[in-house]
Amino acid sequence: MKITYDTQTQSGEINGKNISQKPTFNFDYEWFLLTDNVAYKLLSYGGMNENEPMSEEEKQEVISWANSYEFPAPPPPKELSLDELKLKKINELNSYVDLRLHTFLANYPAVEQKSFPDKKEEALRVKKDESLSLEEAVAYLGFGPAAHSYDGHNRSFNIASIKKYNEILEGKRHFEVEELTALEREHEYIMTRLRTMWGINLREMEALFSKDRVQKLLSLSERFIQKGLLFIDEGHLKLSSDGIFISDNILVELFD
């Protein structure tokens, strides 16, 4: 418990809540303080007056006043303009996304980072191994309607209809398969690697494709590196925290 008020500064509090307007008392103190352990009052700031201890009756009088005190209603919130409201919502969204992103990266380092979560590859297998084959390096398995899977040569995607997708449980097949060209397989590699915390292992990419293809990728990446959206760390090309949110746009530019 803490009840206090100072008439000189016109400030006080009742159990942690500030008194913003001068209250009306039934007692005549210039200052008082009442807690679980102490109870003092000041009758006047003039002269040599000192703090005096309260009697039990005076303490009860202050407690009774505090219990009956009605805090004034807060002022109505300021009406924001449309631009101010947009900015407020953007800041709230950015704070929320930053929190979710850091939580995600801390707990699920091997899961693909998606800019648009409406098409989820819910199970992405990525090995950090210098001797991976192309199939092992980029293979992933997708679950759910419209999810994509890839085995290193062929890409398949489930039907988007939830109703028809559920028919898979009855043994019916509802997915399509396409065989990718060499360039498409390279794009698949870039996409699935860049969206992980490890990024693209440039030495691995050179072994799987060619040195020229790595140089081409670095050339296309240069402007994003200068903008702080991509960076190279120990031979790995990675998305920055800002780049993650526009990874789809960056990938489009990296596919030559």
- pLDDT digit string (tens) for 162-175? 777 777 666 666 56
Q: What is the pLDDT of residues 177-202, one digit of tens each?
A: 777 788 988 998 898 889 888 899 99
Which of 91-100, 173-182, 205-214 is predicted most confidently? 205-214
With b for 16 or more beta-carbon neighbours within 10 A and e for fewer, the 206-238 pattern comes to: ebbbeeebbeebbebbeebeeeebbeeeeebbb
Torsion sign across C-alpha atoms 170, 180, 215, 226: negative
Confidence at 229, pLDDT banded by 50, 70, 90: very high
- 37 contacts 53 by C-beta, under 8 angstroms: no
- 134 contacts 208 by C-beta, under 8 angstroms: yes
Pick the range with the lowest mean pLDDT from 7-11, 87-91, 125-129, 141-145: 125-129
Pick the range with the lowest mean pLDDT from 4-18, 113-127, 178-192, 230-244: 113-127
Structure-model confidence comparison of residues 211 and 109, the more confident one: 211
Stretch (H or E) spanning 157: strand 154-158
Q: Which residue has the tokens 């303080």?
A: 33
- Percent of the chain having pLDDT more than 70? 76
Output the average pLDDT for the chain. Answer: 77
- 41 contacts 58 by C-beta, under 8 angstroms: yes
**Domain residues of the chain, as ranges?**
2-68, 88-254
Strand partners, 176: 157
Give pTM, 2 decimals. Answer: 0.44
Shortest CA distance to 140 belongs to which of 191, 199, 201? 191
Confidence at 233, pLDDT banded by 50, 70, 90: very high
Helix (H, G, I), strand (E, B), or coil: what is residue 150? strand
Structure-model confidence comparison of residues 161 and 126, the more confident one: 161
Q: Which residue has the tokens 């103190």?
A: 29
Distance in angstroms (rounded) separating the CA atoms of residues 131 and 208: 10
Whether residue 119 has pLDDT greater than 50: no
- 5 contacts 12 by C-beta, under 8 angstroms: yes
Q: What is the pLDDT of residues 131-164, one digit of tens each?
A: 344 444 456 777 777 777 777 677 777 777 777 7
The predicted pLDDT at position 124 comes to 35
- 113 contacts 247 by C-beta, under 8 angstroms: yes
Question: Which tokens belong to 78?
Answer: 């300021």
Contacts with 146 (C-beta within 8 Å, 6 or more apart), sequence order: 119, 157, 158, 159, 160
- Percent of the chain having pLDDT more than 90? 17
Question: Which tokens belong to 183?
Answer: 């360039």
